[in-house]
Structure 1
């Protein structure tokens, strides 16, 4: 079976139907912060298990259960999740991380540096 990963960020309290449709059928979802509401996570959990971190707008009490970063291993790959790439304080290549997932900028970006894939 092929593992399908869904990545989303900066929902700001709104889980759009088109996002739900695109995520349908994934095995796991990573949320890169600025969740905005616990209802977003509840909605995503109806689709697949979720790994989420908080972003700069996630300041309400409910968001305190989420860390600022996450290191998750899925399907034999290691993912490092943080909201603002400018806050990266580790060397992903040195740690054997395969992909860094971030958000915050609202600008989609995909690049590879030192063998590590960076996705915003």
Structure 2
């Protein structure tokens, strides 16, 4: 069983609440637009950290984190890409990969819109954790926590960051 803290679109903004809410997590995943290596370093020194770069991330971040991160955790294959779309509207840059070999969980960011949706056609869960930073049009900052247990996703929680 692995408890995951998931966030995206921090855009270089640091909030101590990231650590507070991810205290019980085994791993932290970031779906891109990290914004600064400082944010990434703080997260990776706190817990094991997986991330992808986003469209606003510079070469410093792109040299450390991939554009696409595909891995298996606790029996579930996961694919993370910052610009990825969602069920019914996958981004062309990832659509082929998802359709040919769908993971059990596809995570994207970019839109700043929290979305959890199941793709029945591909038997795949999609999560966009929204935006945890302060840059952008979103009104509410959000993150997500969930458990991966023997290939099953459960106890998904949406965290709203006030202020």
> TM-score w.r.t. structure 2 length?
0.67
Unaligned runs of 5+ in 2: 85-90, 129-163
Contact 1:31 1:52 in 2 (8 A): yes
Structure with more relative contact order (C-alpha pairs < 8 Å, separation 6 or more):
2
2:14 paired with 1:6 = no
- Runs of 4+ in structure 1 over 6 Å off: none
- How many residues align? The count is 119
Q: How far apart, CA to CA, are the structure 1 residues paired with 2:45 and 2:34?
A: 16
Compared CA separation, residues 61 and 96, structure 1 to 2 (3 A)? closer
RMSD over equivalenced CA pairs, Å? 1.6
**Hey, which of these two has a bigger chunk of strand by percent?**
2
Between the aligned partners of 2:72 and 2:28, the Cα distance in structure 1 is 12
Find the counterpart in structure 2 of residue 48 from structure 1.
47
Hey, what's the Cα distance between the residues in 1 that align with 2:108 and 2:61? 21
Tell me the residue number matched to 2:108. 102
TM normalised by structure 1 equals: 0.89
How many angstroms apart in 2 are the aligned matches of 1:20 and 1:31? 13
* Higher Rg: 2
Cα deviation, residue 48, structure 1: 1.1
Aligned equivalents of 1:101, 1:69: Cα separation in 2: 10
Give secondary structure in 1 for the equivalent of 2:80: strand
Q: 1:69 to 1:60 in 2, by over 3 A?
A: same
Question: In structure 2, what is the Cα distance between the partners aligned to 1:102 and 1:62?
Answer: 17
Residue aligning to 2:14: 15
Q: Which moved more, 1:33-42 or 1:15-24?
A: 15-24
- Structure 1 residue 96: Cα displacement: 4.5
Asked if 1:80 corresponds to 2:72, the answer is: no
